[in-house]
Amino acid sequence: MSALLDGFTPLLEQGCGPLDAELSGSDFLGVVSDSVAPEDLHRALTAVVSDGEATGSPEALAMARVLAVLAPAPVRDLARAAADRLVAGGLRDPRWVKAVGKPAVGECFGYTDPRGAQQGVALTFSYGRKVHVLVVLIDHDLGGGVKDCFVTNRPKEIRAGYEQAAEQYGMVFRVYPPEQARAIVADALDREPCPVESDQVEDVRAHLTLLRQRVELLPEAPRTPADTSVHRLKITLSGSKPPIWRRLEVPSTIPLVHLHRAVQDAFEWEDCHLWVFRTPAGDYGMHDPELGHGDATAVTLADVAPNPQTRLTYLYDFGDDWDHDILVEDVAQAEPGTAYPRCLTGRRAAPPEDSGGLWGYAHLCEVLADPSHPEHAELLEWLELDDPADFDPAAFDRDELNDYLADWAKVLVKP
């Protein structure tokens, strides 16, 4: 216990501020969380608080005060009570105690890349004149969890970097209302963290607890019926004969950039080409004023197609022109415990990428069905197939598709 409490000795120094205490506590909680099973975390932290209190030391008081702010909710009350008893026993609280966990909320801003795969969000807070910002990287290709998270006292430099990157790489920079920033980051925190590089793993371990506490400080937007509703969509590859289609249920509030991803998964496209949604409210894709395409990261399905029987189209690959007709069949409340998006049913395999549009796909099917055709061997090689029987235009596997969607699906209504 003594070695553990030694880590809190710097929190007793005169120059220690509330953010210093929070960073130390967040790192400590990250270490503990990594060392015990999730179901054992509450018991482990309860033991730490109890054993620390038994020492009666100033370090134990500093630890308890930090855990009363950052620990999981049930442990916070235990830590607060232990700290109060230590003070009643004659110890004096560190100077940072009155402020810790109560910074003022500042500006929130961020960017999203054109594909909606990577999203950066910066949350600014301040203790008096001392400003700090939590920088969060969310990776939607890896399930939508937190990929990186760190703290810096240079919000101006972070904003300038975001704006420069947005201009240089065609991304969209925006300032978020705090309640919108909360919704974005809270959704990421509900998913599994997804750090990749070693420094990201360390950053997430050390700062995720502090990030959770800071998100709690942001105002929460009022819940609307759309937050727990789903759109049932029938998505048909226009002009396909026999028809190639999928029936999906997706969150009503899904951004169009993520609906793009759902369609890509549903038809096994590889996201190699330009795309656009044509909706009653306008055209949305990778933001391009010259083409008249609005930003698909900033618009939801409910914004452009709120009601059943609304139609929109999704065009993928401006060369092959894979045009998808999307019909909103129904809008209903999500089922408790069910993750969305999900596929209900569908028919036939989707054409391979770059197969030349509907005409080219029909030609491909004809050639593969005829071993004597002069292009037969060439197209088999192009598809990387050894046996033409491995290519089945009638094949459709709902379970396989739902496995893809499950990587980033989310439960909207808890069971």
Q: Is residue 365 part of a domain?
A: no
- Which of the four pLDDT bands, split at 50, 70 and 90, describes residue 406? very high
Claim to verify: residue 179 and residue 143 sit in the same structural domain: yes
Q: What angle do CA 283, 287, 293 make, to 5 degrees?
A: 25
Q: Is residue 363 part of a domain?
A: no
Q: Is residue 364 part of a domain?
A: no
d(CA 304, CA 120): 25
d(CA 266, CA 276): 16
Claim to verify: residue 241 and residue 332 sit in the same structural domain: yes
The residue-averaged pLDDT of 201-210 equals 97
pLDDT (tens digit per residue) in 135-146: 999 999 899 999
Nearest partner of 120 among 149, 143, 151, 155, judged by Cα: 149
Q: Give percent above pLDDT 70 in the chain.
A: 100
- Asked if pLDDT for residue 386 goes beyond 80, the answer is no
Q: Is residue 382 part of a domain?
A: no
Residue 400, H or E segment: helix 398-406
Claim to verify: residue 208 and residue 74 sit in the same structural domain: no
Claim to verify: residue 243 and residue 122 sit in the same structural domain: no
Distance of CA 191 to the CA centre of its chain: 7
Domain boundary among 47, 64, 98: 98
Domain boundary among 194, 217, 240: 217
Domain boundary among 196, 217, 238: 217
Claim to verify: residue 404 and residue 285 sit in the same structural domain: yes
**pTM for this one?**
0.86
Q: Is residue 380 part of a domain?
A: no
Residues 6+ apart with CB under 8 A from 333: 225, 228, 229, 230, 413
The residue-averaged pLDDT of 119-129 equals 96
The full length of the chain comes to: 415
d(CA 283, CA 273): 17
Strands 130-139 and 322-333: unpaired
- Asked if pLDDT for residue 363 goes beyond 90, the answer is no
- Asked if pLDDT for residue 291 goes beyond 90, the answer is no
- The domain total for the chain is 3
For the domain that residue 324 is a member of, what is the CATH number?
3.10.290.30
Claim to verify: residue 273 and residue 405 sit in the same structural domain: yes
- Asked if pLDDT for residue 319 goes beyond 80, the answer is yes
Domain coverage including residue 321: 227-349+394-411
Buried-exposed string 77-111: b where 16+ CB fall within 10 A, e elsewhere: ebbbebbeebeeeebebbebbeebbebebbbbbbb
Claim to verify: residue 158 and residue 247 sit in the same structural domain: no
**Across the strands, what pairs with 325?**
236, 313
Mean pLDDT, the chain, as a whole number?
93
Q: Is residue 384 part of a domain?
A: no
Q: Is residue 386 part of a domain?
A: no
Claim to verify: residue 404 and residue 331 sit in the same structural domain: yes
Q: Given this model, what pLDDT does residue 170 score?
A: 77
Claim to verify: residue 28 and residue 123 sit in the same structural domain: no
**Residue 175 CB neighbour total at 10 angstroms:** 11
Q: Is residue 310 part of a domain?
A: yes
DSSP state of 392: -
Q: Given this model, what pLDDT does residue 190 score?
A: 93
Highest mean pLDDT among 293-302, 305-314, 361-370, 375-384: 305-314
- Asked if pLDDT for residue 213 goes beyond 80, the answer is yes
- Which of the four pLDDT bands, split at 50, 70 and 90, describes residue 196? very high
Q: Given this model, what pLDDT does residue 225 score?
A: 87
Q: Given this model, what pLDDT does residue 37 score?
A: 92
Claim to verify: residue 273 and residue 313 sit in the same structural domain: yes
More confident residue, 381 or 324: 324
- Asked if pLDDT for residue 344 goes beyond 90, the answer is yes
The set of long-range contacts for 373-380, using a CB threshold of 8 Å and a minimum separation of 24, is none
Find where tokens 């904003």 sit: 159
pLDDT (tens digit per residue) in 14-58: 999 999 999 999 999 999 999 999 899 999 999 999 999 999 999
Claim to verify: residue 115 and residue 210 sit in the same structural domain: yes
Claim to verify: residue 69 and residue 129 sit in the same structural domain: no
